Chain A
Amino acid sequence: MVIDLLSYSLIPMFSSLALPFFAKKNIRIAIILANVALLSGFINISYLIINSITKPDIIPIIDPLTVFLIFTIYTVALAISFFSTYYGIEKEANPISYYSLILLSVSAMTSLVMVRDLFSLYLFVEILAVCSFALITSDIKSNSIEAAIKYFFLTFPASILIILGISLVLASQKALDFEIISVSTNIMTMIGLSFVIIGFLIKSGVVPFHFWTLDVYQGASSPISAYLAGIITKIGGIYAIIKISIIMKYYPVETISSILLFTSILTILIGAFGAIAQKDMKRMLAYSSISQMGYILAGVSTFSSTGIIAAVFHLFNHATFKTVLFLNSACIEKQTGTTNMTELKGLEKKMPITSWTSIIASMSTAGIPPLSGFWSKILVIIALWQVGYIKSAIIAIIASIITLGYFVLMQRKVFFGKLAEKLTEIKEVESPLLLPVIIMSLMIILAGIYVTYIYSYLEKIM
Chain B
Amino acid sequence: MILYVLIYLVIIVGVVGAVISKKLLNSAIMLAIASIGISLLLFGYSAPWAAVFELSVCAGLITVLFISAVSLVKNEEDTTKEKQIKYSIFPLIMSAVVILSSIFIPEYFEKLSSYANTTQNGNELKIGDIIWSIRGIDVIAQIMLLAGGVFAIKHIFSYVKKQEE
Contact = CB atoms under 8 A, between A and B. Distances in A.
Interface in A261-319: none
A104 B148 contact: yes
B158 A94 contact: yes
A133 interface: yes
Interface string A140-153: 10001100100000
Contacts of A145: 156, 159-160
B151 A101 contact: yes
A460 interface: no
B140 A104 contact: no
A176 B130 contact: yes
A94 B152 CA distance: 10
B22 to A, nearest CB: 29
Contacts of A126: 145
A120 B135 contact: yes
Interface residues of A, number: 41
A101 B155 contact: yes
Given A119-B135, A174-B125, A176-B130, A101 B152 contact: yes
Contacts of B144: 13, 104, 107-108, 111, 124, 127
A137 B158 CA distance: 10
Nearest to A119: B131
A138 B159 contact: yes
Given A94-B154, A104-B151, A120 B130 contact: no
Contacts of A138: 155, 159
B69 to A, nearest CB: 14
Contacts of A127: 141, 144-145, 148
B163 interface: yes
Contact of A123 (B134, B141, B143, B152): B141
B3 interface: no
A124 B137 CA distance: 11
Contacts of B140: 9-10, 13, 111
A93 interface: yes
B162 to A, nearest CB: 5
State which size class the interface on B falls in: 20 to 34
A131 interface: yes
Contacts of B131: 119, 170, 176
Nearest to A148: B156
Given A111-B137, A119-B135, A174 B151 contact: no
Nearest to A14: B143
Given A119-B135, A123-B141, A97 B154 contact: yes
The dominant DSSP class at the A interface is helix
A127 B145 CA distance: 6
Interface in A152-201: 170, 174-177, 180
Interface string B5-23: 0000000000000000000
A346 to B, nearest CB: 35
B146 to A, nearest CB: 10
A131 B154 CA distance: 12
Contacts of B147: 13, 16-17, 100, 104
A287 B57 CA distance: 37
B37 to A, nearest CB: 24
B120 interface: yes
Interface in B75-132: 118, 120, 125, 127, 130-131
A13 B120 contact: no
> Which of B120, B140, B154 neighbours the largest number of chain A CB atoms within 10 Å of its CB?
B140
Given A16-B151, A120-B135, A170-B130, A97 B141 contact: no
B48 interface: no
B149 A130 contact: yes
B85 to A, nearest CB: 31
Given A94-B155, A140-B159, A130 B118 contact: no
Interface string A83-105: 00000000001100110110010
Given A140-B162, A170-B130, A93 B155 contact: yes
A53 interface: no
13 contacts: A93-B158, A93-B162, A94-B154, A111-B137, A117-B134, A117-B135, A120-B135, A123-B138, A127-B141, A134-B155, A144-B159, A174-B127, A174-B130
Interface of B: 118, 120, 125, 127, 130-131, 134-135, 137-138, 140-141, 143-145, 147-149, 151-152, 154-156, 158-160, 162-163
